[in-house]
With several copies, the nearest count.
Chain A
Amino acid sequence: MEYAPNKDVIVKRIARIFHSGDVVNLGIGLPTQVVNHVPEGVVIILQSENGLMGLGPAPEKGCEDWDNVNAGGSPITVQPGGCFFDSATSFGIIRGGHVDYTVLGVLEVDQEGNLANYKVPGKMVPGMGGAMDLTTGARTVICSTLHFEPSGKSRLKRRCTLPLTAAKEVDLVVTDLGLFQVKDGHFVLAECFAPYTPEWVKEKTDADVVIAPDCKIVNLD
């Protein structure tokens, strides 16, 4: 079996997790693209940790309002029925369990549910921003990542080696190979994305993977 990185299947699969009314925070980068794949008829509410409920699409060029930006500092619009608040309130919403899903990027994620995504000591220290509060506070923590590093190593680990963003907070990991639940100290492969096979995924992952008895093969193309 040959592996070709495919970010599309990751965001497509995550976008199908939500139900109407869910409050969702999408991290910068890959997670942001999830919003483009939410099925028609499903109305989610996007929270932006810099102080907004009801994040809308980017404005047309020339229509930017620089008082309205997302957590990456890019201009955004507001959905009808959205509202603004200060950062203490915003993280009160996050920490208080009022955000249903947070979707984050990954440097490493391990079978205990630990996530490392904010720091490579000595190399890259951007700071945790809101990621630690989001992983601690959101009801369901979804990690989105290509299954393999450019070097070919699996990003799903037995044990993270980088400084942690969150300890034992990860619920789901969606890669371009499949959807994994974190459970009892291992990854449970609940869905395997075609054309890969559960056995191949298990073999290529440098962590303890249990193939769920009802593991489905899903085609997301």
Chain B
Amino acid sequence: MLEKPIITAQEAAEKVKDGCTLMSGGFMGCGAAHTIIQALKAKGLKDVSLISTDTAMHDLKTGKVTGIGHLVVDRCFRKITASHIGLNQETQRQMNAGETEVELVPQGTLAERIRAAGNGLGGFLTPTGIGTEVQEGKQILNVNGRDYLLELPLKADVAIVKAKKADKAGNLIYAGTARNFNPMMATAADLVIAEAEEIVEVGELDPNHVHTPSIFVDFLVKAERLEM
């Protein structure tokens, strides 16, 4: 199995271009690629369209910021597609002020839309959102007497994901709830950069326990920052 280039977080950040669509794994900061996020912050990023389950945390009172919230505070995003922004007061402020476009998507629908893009599906029918604002502008199909929304795939130019362990071929294993959106995102972007706490030799991972097959990963980064 060919090995994937191991690059620095700075080199990874250079691959994320202004104006691109970026997927970032993580749930309230848990399972986010913190090292790469800090490099993106240092580099300065503009006009990016973010897809993430949430925008992690930003507490205006304490000033505490976690995960992808660091890039929200730096105004890196022109658009944010997420299921929850409730713990990031800056995201809410930017949305209410009309500074940043925010599209709210039910969390299960978001996960499935990303999976659909990675899996070559043209869309799927979900009952979630029927009878709510979420159905606005969407096609409703009735199957066997029940109404469903047609939801469409969601893909990105770049995905940054975070694993516990990688092998040099790019196989990934996640730990605990830090798995969350990472596996789907790794399938749905043209360029996938995986940050891993540990990078082992090819052949050291049990092939039954790999969560993300190597073929999805383009570059590896060694994690240096683990805190949220």
Interface residues on A, range: 35 or more
Chain B minimum-CB-distance residue to A132: B106
Cβ contact within 8 Å between A81 and B96:
no
CA distance A125 to B103 in the complex (A): 11
Cβ contact within 8 Å between B119 and A130:
no
Q: A48, A50, A53: which contacts B213 (Cβ < 8 A)?
A: A53
Is A187 located at the chain interface by the 8 A CB criterion? no
Cβ contact within 8 Å between A137 and B132:
no
Q: A86, A131, A132, A165: which contacts B182 (Cβ < 8 A)?
A: A86
Q: A123 to chain B: closest CB distance in Å?
A: 9
Cβ contact within 8 Å between A67 and B31:
yes
Q: B2, B108, B171: which contacts A83 (Cβ < 8 A)?
A: B171
Chain A minimum-CB-distance residue to B109: A133
B112-131 at interface with A (beta carbon < 8 Å):
112, 114-115, 117-121, 126-131
Cβ contact within 8 Å between A136 and B127:
yes
* CB-defined A-B contacts under 8 Å, sample of 19: A43-B2, A51-B180, A53-B215, A66-B30, A67-B177, A68-B177, A81-B203, A83-B213, A86-B111, A87-B111, A92-B118, A96-B117, A98-B215, A125-B85, A125-B102, A127-B83, A132-B109, A136-B129, A137-B120
Interface residues of chain B, those whose CB is within 8 Å of chain A, are 1-2, 27-31, 53-54, 57, 82-87, 92, 95-96, 102, 104, 106-109, 111-112, 114-115, 117-121, 126-134, 164, 167, 169, 171, 174-184, 187, 202-203, 205, 207-208, 210-211, 213-216, 226-228
Interface residues of chain A, those whose CB is within 8 Å of chain B, are 20-21, 23, 43, 45, 48-54, 65-73, 76, 78-88, 90-98, 114, 122, 124-133, 136-137, 163-168
